[in-house]
Structure 1
Amino acid sequence: MSQKVRGVVAPGKGAAVRLETILVGDPGPGEALVRVRACGVCHTDLHYRQGGINDEFPFLLGHEAAGVVEAVGKDVRDLAPGDFVILNWRAVCGKCRACRRGRPWYCFDTHNAAQKMTLADGTELSPALGIGAFAEKTLVAAGQCTKVDPTASAAVAGLLGCGVMAGFGAALNTGNVTRGDSVAVIGCGGVGNAAVAGARLAGAAKIIAVDIDERKLTWARNLGATHTINARQNDVVDAIREVTDGFGADVVIDAVGRPETYEQAFYARDLAGTVVLVGVPTPEMRLDLPLLDVFGRGGSLKSSWYGDCLPERDFPMLIDLYLQGRVDLDAFVSETITLDDVEDAFARMERGEVLRSVVLL
């Protein structure tokens, strides 16, 4: 039997979001009904609203979420009502060629709930990243639920569902940052600053934060950056080399995802260094690099999908480190808001005024 809940819907390309009545069905086989407690406002939600992902409107927005399992469907064995979970948008299948080779963080066949949530008139909704958590309750695949310590703040825990995990994973998983490394992070929004915090957790000796906004550079310093570079005032490549004794950084993380910033990352790394792209480009962007430079500089050019995370491994680990006081995840929560405030939160995010606004339910 369907339940009526409130949810934030993007009705059409570029249109302001609306708070609507949503119908959420009982979980079917392999599904879970989750009562959402908190959900972060991510740039990806704004991209959905602007039509930058696809045109499958209307969208039920929200995906950086934590909540409590209310019911599970048939055949769900490792999840039960009352479990406190972080929602993830890459439910590992366990059967594809990546999973069979022991690389489930690259799973090529992730899945979502089979049933669709709808508007009151029956119009089917497209849930953002298969989650749709700007709602009091949401229906997801059971594999999208990762159990974590219930004593953690829901506002903090939910952020691991996307941006914060992407940044930490870009440093720890994709970039393989280790003790003594020099790391540069280009772009210090939520993802970039999470990469800064991840580099600090890994024991990097030099952590260089790059942005055009002094406010974001201040956030980066608070999260562990040892050096900051304002890209409006400095040549980024020269400035990173100056900090690294003329060599360039061991790992450079591009958290912006533009051809200009990727080229900066490419030339700001040391010989045989690593470039990690975690910022998401738009479809029309192209890159032009001399192939001889790609060959001659050696090293690795990597893309980081969701921080190459494995939710069942990485979410509990980071929550445990947070509860031990070793990772300051509270620093990413700039403000808490209600479902009615999402449109205004998008505007604050675009102006660079917040790391994350978090909807509390």
Structure 2
Amino acid sequence: MSFRSLVLMTFATLLLVVMPAHSSSRIKDIVDFEGIRDNQLIGYGLVVGLDGTGDSLTNAPFTKQSLQAMLERMGVNISGVTLNTKNVAAVMVTASLPPFSVQGSRIDVTISALGDADSLQGGTLLVTPLMGADGEAYAIAQGPVAIGGFSAQGDAAAVTKGVPTSGRIANGGIVERELPFKLASMSTLRLSLRNPDLTTARRIAQSINDLIGQPVAEPLNPSGVRLTLPRDFNGNIVDLITDIEQLNIEPDLPAKIIIDESTGIIVMGQEVRVSTVAIAQGNLTVSVTEAPQVAQPNPLANGQTVVVPRTQVDVTTDTDKKLALLEGSVPLRDLVSGLNALGVGPRDMISILQAIKASGALQAEIEVM
């Protein structure tokens, strides 16, 4: 290796170490274009062909009514007949309708038992209309159900793995109606930020204006940016949206600390700062030990055998814990290093952070999950 190559490699290594890392993201990954979204569908249906693991018709009257109505539509008259089968289960069918889905395209559907069925293994979903929030049917679902678990039961033991009462049908739904949304004819679009922030919205608008060369983007609020197409624009709006999605900006993050006390998880943002503060942390341990003893009377004495309680209480504390000083306006790395230097665990660290916040020395928001 030549001397020049060695110098260039050393300089590149120093750049990687010294230069701060900026996390930029594509606009595509942090915003949603209004109108381009999924729509939730739901339906009620029957799964048949179960091996005695379906609903009991006495405990699930809706399954019985649905079965009777289906057979009557098929021309089968069962008036006055007592039904006693466990090969049928009432289920709820859910799916997401992707944007711009056309008639005939297929979507995945999820099946969930509604009654007291033990398993949907081996079942087949009958034709089920899937409706939107407006009550209109947008897709039809049917097909064999694939579950991710199983259930086996004997006379004295039972084994269940996963959730056998829910499953999926890959490409089990057929789109029958399209959503009326014409993107090409729109002159105004709105970008919705997934993490609302005023600074990020302003940066997005500036980046779009720099791309187009005109002030066509305007931040409306922390969660929205309005894009108005220029009057002399004669291109394809899909191409314009594609170019906008590829723009890179640096999202601004608030100073926030997320705490989950149940699991002891702590997540800090890079903008968290702390003023000069001194911290002392000590552990106080109190242990109580019960060692009861049996006391017996002397031989030939008129007495009774009794149990005498013996309790031992020990109190220990860490006397080597001293005040630790955290300098003011330290970055996240130094804050974490300072707290780790105290030798505290995650749960004690939660208490320390809350105490620093109460003293007014922590310039961040604490959110407890």
TM (norm. structure 2) is 0.19
Structure with bigger strand share is 2
- Higher relative CO (Cα under 8 Å, sequence separation at least 6) belongs to 1
Structure with bigger helix share is 1
